Structure 1
Amino acid sequence: MSSYLLPTLSRKREVDGIIRDTVDKVLVLRFGRCSDAACLQLDDILSKSSREISKFATIALVDIDAEEIQVYVNYFDITLIPSTIFFFNAHHMKMDSGTADHTKWIGSFHSKQDFIDVVETIFRGAMKGKLIVSCPLPPERIPRFQLLFKDL
């Protein structure tokens, strides 16, 4: 149960605070449920990586079922879990991974090294003033989802 090793946020005030207070580090927010199998797989990768990336990143889990968190769930359009969102100095960092959605990473990572590579790329881009970076992973290791748009 690696999700117990990382802080879990369930209030809007906690999420606002960690976004505002994380300075000169990438903030990794995993939106999901601690009981979901895919989330547990991602949590395992996140917790195993947390020590190695601690100098340039902070990781927190966000409980998607918490009532106060629904503001973020709606704002970031989180329909598939786990969804991972990145921030740097309170700015939302985006990543072009060849999918239709650049605002978040949907699904788990294949390995701990894939996650570390993504966070490091986001950190290096953010230090150069970029708000969107290119995904360093090869296309076969990027999860693909079919996005459906309603009422178009």
Structure 2
Amino acid sequence: MGSVFLQNLRTGWHVDQAILSEDDRLVVIRFGEPSNRECMLMDELLYKASPLVQQFAVIYTCDTSVVKDFNEMYELYDPMTVMFFYRNKHMMCDFGTGNNNKLNFPLQDKQELVDILEVIYRGASKGKGLVTAPKDYSYTNNARRDQ
């Protein structure tokens, strides 16, 4: 079971099709177990942001306890991970955390998420494989870990 509001990808095939099917929009996939608190918080933000980004991004969820195909390949070891794809290419974003492959910490604000998705989309549409987040999360993420 996934988020009631966001489309859940139920198999590895569905994940592949979601990534392959979009030619002009950013594909955003939240990997993790939907009952996890971080996933629930992120799903709420993704849901709130989805109407604001629907012109350039499509958002999905994927339960990593059901769909295990990508856990090792994408190193999905965190409770919640958001990954970005554009034209079947994995998009990386430098959040200042040392991990450019994915977003693995919950954001606090819908606009913050929209800003990140816009930056990634703009970079992707210009052919960049790595973009820099509009904000440095190194302090935010480390502060969260110390709590």
CA-based RMSD: 1.8
Q: Percentage identity across aligned positions?
A: 29
Q: Which residue of 1 aligns with 2:51?
A: 51
Q: Which residue of 2 aligns with 1:125?
A: 123
What do residues 18-52 of structure 1 show as CA deviations (whole Å, max 9, x unaligned)?
00001111110000111111111110000011001
Q: Distance in 2 between matches of 1:113 and 1:138?
A: 15
Extract unaligned runs of 5+ from structure 1. 147-152
**What amino acid sits opposite 1:104 in the alignment?**
K
Structure 2 counterparts to residues 1-152 of structure 1, below 5 A: 3-66=3-66, 69-139=67-137, 142-144=140-142
- Aligned-partner SS, 1:83: strand
What do residues 74-108 of structure 1 show as CA deviations (whole Å, max 9, x unaligned)?
10111112100000111000011112211000021
Q: In structure 2, do the counterparts of structure 1 residues 138 and 97 end up closer, same or farther at CA, with 3 Å as the change threshold?
A: closer
> What's the TM-score once normalised by structure 1's chain length?
0.88
Task: Report the CA distance between 1:141 and its aligned residue.
Answer: 7.1
> What's the TM-score once normalised by structure 2's chain length?
0.91
Q: Quick check: 1:106–1:143 contact (8 Å CA) kept in 2?
A: no
Q: Distance in 2 between matches of 1:139 and 1:60?
A: 23
Task: Report the CA distance between 1:71 and its aligned residue.
Answer: 2.3
Q: Distance in 1 between matches of 2:80 and 2:94?
A: 18
State the 4+ residue runs in structure 1 displaced beyond 3 angstroms. Answer: 138-142
Q: Give the total of aligned pairs.
A: 143
